[in-house]
C-alpha cells in the first residue's frame, strides 16, 4: 500500500491525451511538499520527467506537463506516442513518516 | 555529462551484508544529496536514504537500524551498506543524484541484488 495513490494503469491511442493522478494527504502533497514524476521503461533506471510540481528538465518534450492542487498532483501527456509506453511514478516527501514517498506506479499502454 | 556508475555484489546469503558503491563523474560532487533507491522485482520504488558530500546522512526510518551510507569526497564516490539482509531485500538498487526540490535527475544503471540461500 503506497502512501501516494496512482491508478495501476491507463491507456490511450496515439495522438490522444492521458492524465495520471497522484493522490496524497495533508502530511505530504497537501502540506506543500513538491511532487516529482518519473518515467521508467523496462530494465532501465527511472528518468526524471517533471520536478517541483510543474517543471520539465532540459530535453523532456513539452507534451509532458505536471500540475498540483490540494492533496493531489497530475501528470498529463498530450499527443501520445508509442515511445511513451512505460511506468510512471510520482514522488514527494511525507513529514509524518520523515520519508520520501512514491506512488505505486501507473503503467501506460499506447493502444 | 554527469554519469553515475555503480557496482557491488549481486548475490547474498540471508544475514549477509549488502555493499554497493557509486562513482560520480562529469559534475560537481558538492551541493547534492547522493541517494539510494531500490525496486523489488515487479514492484515500485523505495527510497533508502541520502548522504551529502560532508557525510551528513538521512535514512528511511524502517531501515535505519541496518543502513549505513558513507562518502569518499576525494574520489567522488558514495556507498551503501545494508546488514542482516533477508529475501525481502531482494531488489534492484539504484544510486541517484538529488538536488533540493528538484528530484533525482541522474541515476546509476542499477544493480540487481538477490538474497538467497
Q: What is the pLDDT of residues B79-91, one digit of tens each?
A: 999 999 999 999 9
Among A45, A89, A97, whose Cβ lies nearest the Cβ of B94? A45
Residues 72-101 of B with CB under 8 A from A: 94, 96, 101
Residue A6 scores a pLDDT above 90: yes
Q: What is the largest CA-CA distance in chain B?
A: 41
In this prediction, the residues of chain B whose per-residue pLDDT falls under 70 are none
User: Residue A48 and residue B104: Cβ atoms within 8 Å?
Assistant: yes
In this predicted structure, what is the pLDDT of residue A109? 97
A46-78, pLDDT tens digit by residue?
999 999 999 999 999 999 999 999 999 999 999
> What is the pLDDT of chain A when averaged over all its residues?
96
User: Residue B102 and residue A99: Cβ atoms within 8 Å?
Assistant: no
Q: Which chain A residues are Cβ-neighbours of B108 within 8 angstroms?
A: 45
Pair A29, A35: CB distance under 8 Å = yes
A23-52, pLDDT tens digit by residue?
999 999 999 999 999 999 999 999 999 999
Residue A1 scores a pLDDT above 90: no
Distance in angstroms (rounded) separating the CA atoms of residues B51 and B76: 12
| Nearest one of A90, A108, A77, A92 to A22, comparing CA atoms | A90
In this predicted structure, what is the pLDDT of residue B100? 87
State the cell numbers at B25: 563523474
In this predicted structure, what is the pLDDT of residue A110? 96
Distance in angstroms (rounded) separating the CA atoms of residues B56 and B13: 30
Residues 7-66 of B with CB under 8 A from A: 44-47, 60-61
Amino acid at each position: 500500500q503506497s502512501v501516494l495513490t496512482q491508478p495501476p494503469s491507463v491507456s490511450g491511442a496515439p495522438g490522444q491525451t492521458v492524465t495520471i493522478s497522484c493522490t496524497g494527504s495533508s502530511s505530504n502533497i497537501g502540506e506543500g511538499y513538491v511532487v516529482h514524476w518519473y518515467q521508467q521503461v523496462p530494465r532501465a533506471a527511472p528518468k526524471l520527467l517533471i520536478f517541483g510540481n510543474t517543471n520539465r528538465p532540459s530535453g523532456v518534450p513539452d507534451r509532458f506537463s505536471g500540475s498540483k492542487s490540494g492533496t493531489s498532483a497530475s501528470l498529463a501527456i498530450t499527443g501520445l506516442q508509442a515511445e511513451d509506453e512505460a511506468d510512471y511514478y510520482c514522488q514527494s516527501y511525507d513529514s509524518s513518516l520523515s520519508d520520501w514517498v512514491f506512488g505505486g506506479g501507473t503503467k501506460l499502454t499506447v493502444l | 555529462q554527469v554519469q553515475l556508475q555503480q557496482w557491488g555484489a549481486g548475490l547474498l546469503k540471508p544475514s549477509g551484508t549488502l555493499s554497493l558503491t557509486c562513482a560520480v563523474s562529469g559534475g560537481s560532487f558538492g551541493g547534492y544529496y547522493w541517494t539510494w533507491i531500490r525496486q523489488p522485482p515487479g514492484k515500485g520504488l523505495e527510497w533508502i536514504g541520502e548522504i551529502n558530500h560532508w557525510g551528513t546522512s538521512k535514512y528511511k526510518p524502517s531501515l535505519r537500524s541496518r543502513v549505513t551510507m558513507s562518502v569518499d569526497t576525494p574520489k567522488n564516490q558514495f556507498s551503501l551498506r545494508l546488514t542482516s539482509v533477508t529475501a525481502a531485500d531482494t531488489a534492484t538498487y539504484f544510486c541517484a543524484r538529488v538536488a533540493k526540490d528538484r528530484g533525482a535527475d541522474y541515476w546509476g544503471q542499477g544493480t540487481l541484488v538477490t538474497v538467497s540461500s
